A and B are shown apart, each in its own frame.
Chain A
Amino acid sequence: MAAAGSVGGADWAVVCDKFRTARTLSSVESRKDPETEPYRSKYSARALLQEVKQLLSAAEEGGEARLLAVRRAVLEYELGVNHTDTEELSAGEEHLQRCTQLLEPHRLSPDCVSLYIQAQNNLGILWSERDEIKTAQTYLESAEALYNQYMKEDGNPPLDPSEHFMAEEEKLTDQERSKRFEKAYTHTLYYLAQVYQHLEMIEKAAQYCHTTLKRQLEYCGYYPVEWALNAATLSQYYLSKQCFMESRHCLAAASVIFSQAGQVPSTEDSEAEQDQQDLRQRKAEIARCWIKYCLNLLQSCALSFQDNVGELDPDRQLELKAQRKKEEDEKENGRKKAVLFGTSDIYDSVLAMEEKVSSVYPLDFQEAREIFLVGQNYVQEAKEFFQVDGYVTDHIEIVQDHSALFKVLAFFEEDYERRCKMHKRRIDMLEPLYADLNPQYYLLISRQLQFELADTYYEMMDLKVAIGNRLEELDSHTIKKINSLAQLAIKYYELFLDSLRNPDKVFPEKLEEDVLRPAMVAKFHIARLYGKLITSDSKKQLENMQTSLEYYTFLVDYCEKYPDAVHAVETELELSKEMVGLLPTRMERLRAKLCPFI
């Protein structure tokens, strides 16, 4: 190993000292460099490295070619990193290439493998800075392959590059060597995650993010809060892919790691000492990710249970129940697919966290309600931080999710009266929010609230009609209820339509693509609502029919004028055309009844 004594006439201890100083200059001192001379320390470090390189060259005759080659490779590596740090990419590339050339024959030996991988990492970074992502990818993938090969064939903790310029007594412990080696490899994976993201290989990028997080846990190189947020964010990726088990696992791990956040001794970085306010916000953010989890699970289940009119299909339900029985025996198979965050000390806590909420489709109201309740708890938790004053948009988004939870729960409820009550809960939470909101600043949210309120009233009215239809005869109380719900729905649809008018209160000739469908649906629903209003006064009835006809006609005329709009409202258009055909005849008949003597 390292020849002590002299190197090219210089004392080895002096050489090591120069090397160590250069590294300190690069990593510690350089952070204090003034703005006017941002690279002062880097340049000083470079000068020292060049000195050491010359001392080594002078020692060329000293035999031990391999030892010299490796030491030279360490210097080339340091010089390469130094040049890229100071934005001299071409020079940096040359040094790094020389480093890998020197190491090529020995890259699988324990004294070279770590250095080789780090050189490859840095070449990857360098090419990515040139925007040559494909080239970066080849370097990083080959670093990954080398790590795997080394672990398979040897697996002993390899030397850290800095050890080549250390006195024998300073050498690192195996544990420390292993830690640094694994860290370098974690970086390889972390860079690859970014490369794949830039190449839009989304699935692969997600997998590498996941592995990076997992390794951070294993090797303890992370801030709990940041880690938890990353895991929670990753859970949202899995949600968008409908992988509920993976999503839940990420969230459970996020919650467990986050709960440790308060108990970590702070590192030298101020980021670890996030103040309480910040922690509370992060906690609320994670709660919001849980809300989305519960909501997505329920919604996507509801979607698969729907028959063609959007109601729960009991046959499909039974079918799925049978299927699930079969699957329960094979339950563990899915687990193997998922990457787990499995360090033994947190594994049990994560498991316990996961058991609080299902990750499979609920098959009946009871099961749906359990997921709903978990979601609702997280709604309360998120609202504690995101209060309406100070966090208007966040607060409203959370309430909108809460409302959506009720909506999807109502889908599983068979009793119409109780279903209606759930929708009433939505009204109760949304209406006061809407009333207080200044549409001047929150135009978009206002519109969303108008539309949702309208839709909820519309749904309640339909339920009341369905309940009424089961009765022998409509009692006056039910009639009143139906009419008032219909009127409220109309009111909010009209408010929404009014928000589209220009400053002179004129409704747009041609609707923007993004509001086309909502506007058309609003028109269509209003038409239908006027048709549902119950009145014993035939004149009034005629008026309502007339209004209804006008709204249906709007749809038909608009789509005739702008055929591009048809795709957005196919079903509604078909029904509107039908109604435009039917209504005048009905109105004629009614008129005939009203004044039989012409």
Chain B
Amino acid sequence: ALPLLNSPSVEGDTIKVYVRVRPPSEGTVLTDGDQGLCLSVLSSNTIRLHSKPEPKIFTFDYVANMETTQESVFSSVAKNIVESCMNGYNGTIFAYGQTGSGKTFTMMGPSDSDNFTHSLRGVIPRSFEYLFFLIEREKEKAGNGKSFLCKCSFIEIYNEQIFDLLDTASAKQMKKGVFVDGAVEQVLSSAAEAYQVLTMGWRNRPTSMNRESSRSHAVFTITVESMEKNNEVVNIRSSLLNLVDLAGSERQKDTHAEGLRLKEAGNINRSLSCLGQVITALVDVGNGKQRHICYRDSKLTFLLRDSLGGNAKTCIIANVHPGSRCFGETLSTLNFAQRAKLIKNKAVVNEDTQGNVS
């Protein structure tokens, strides 16, 4: 019998999961054990949810309490991924959680600041800085032997459609890699420039009536290419860094949302729309037999296929709000994060050696 080559979901490195608890809004004071608080951080990797009758304890790669600074989030989550990126690995950082749990604050920073030097700036601007700092350092070390090219694209996925925040686009898969057809790629030469593109794109997000900003995913991608010459042999490495601000996880329509969504939309003539999900779940627990599932994943999973069980190092930041009112959403966020830990990735260096050793 032929040995089976496993599907991507069981490959190599697991996805790192980092949970961040945001502080409650100004003016509301919550004390532990108080009615107002639904969780406590027990240690730097465990969190307790005050569920009834039994409290639930979750373990993650890292749990950041309310006092955790932006700098410390960056150091423990993104630093390593940016470094790997310099070494030719693809990397992806997701922020996940309900609206108001602090995703955008974590990834971008305070909403009212266009200021790149703001001490509260988030993971994305800090990643830019660190990436260009590393590039400069490499250049100094290698003299003329090594050159770099950085490009970025910025897209938004809303309602299964892709909008290029730097222009317009659609996603396609090509033999040479997934790419977004027609997406504008901008060459970057400094962190400040990257930040400029980011804020410009962020402002470009179309707003219209009945369009909820909390229902869109934003994906900022940086391609880092490096070329190194070693007597006649040219070594080219290229890697992708995806920084993703996911849509609010509440009332998720996305694939694999947690929680029961039994309810039929009020409309009398609607078909039973969840049935497909139920059947898919039945087929999913199949016993490794060959089968095809019709419901293709959403555009987001398609685009980030390489990050989810593909060739990349991936980290998910699960953001939660400690307030009791958010208990249900917090529970489902933590459940999602728990499941994400089971996904394994296999990262390899993207390398291409050209030249002739004569």
Contact = CB atoms under 8 A, between A and B. Distances in A.
Contacts of A549: none
Contact of B172 (A35, A187, A268, A390): A390
B8 A291 contact: no
A35 B350 contact: no
A558 to B, nearest CB: 15
Interface residues of A, number: 85
A218 to B, nearest CB: 14
**Is chain A's binding surface mostly helix, strand, loop or mixed?**
helix
A67 B271 CA distance: 34
Interface in A196-224: 197-198, 200, 202, 205-206, 209, 212-213, 216, 221-223
Interface in B88-120: 88
A391 B17 CA distance: 30
A438 interface: yes
Contacts of B305: 393
Interface stretch (A6-14, A167-175, A341-349, A439-447): A439-447
Contacts of B348: 440, 443, 499, 503
Given A125-B262, A232-B294, A288-B292, A269 B269 contact: yes
Interface residues of B, number: 67
B290 A209 contact: no
Question: Which one of A200, A236, A388 has the greatest number of beta carbons of chain B within 10 Å?
Answer: A236
A227 B4 CA distance: 33
Nearest to B276: A230
A274 to B, nearest CB: 13
Contacts of B260: 128-129, 131, 133, 194, 198
B263 interface: yes
Interface in B290-326: 290-296, 305-306, 310-311
B310 A230 contact: no
B173 interface: yes
Interface in A163-192: 183, 186-187, 190-191
Contact of A267 (B174, B269, B295): B269
A299 B344 CA distance: 29
Contacts of B8: 444
Interface string B320-344: 0000000000000000000000001
B173 A443 contact: no
A232 B296 CA distance: 13
Interface of B: 1-8, 10-12, 87-88, 172-178, 210, 212, 238, 259-260, 262-264, 266-276, 278-283, 285-287, 289-296, 305-306, 310-311, 344, 346, 348-352
Interface of A: 26-27, 30-31, 35, 124-125, 128-129, 131, 133, 136, 183, 186-187, 190-191, 193-194, 197-198, 200, 202, 205-206, 209, 212-213, 216, 221-223, 226-227, 229-230, 232-234, 236-237, 239-240, 267-269, 282, 285-286, 288-289, 291-292, 295-296, 299, 310, 388-393, 401, 404, 436-438, 440-444, 447-448, 451, 455, 499, 503, 512, 514-515, 517-518, 521
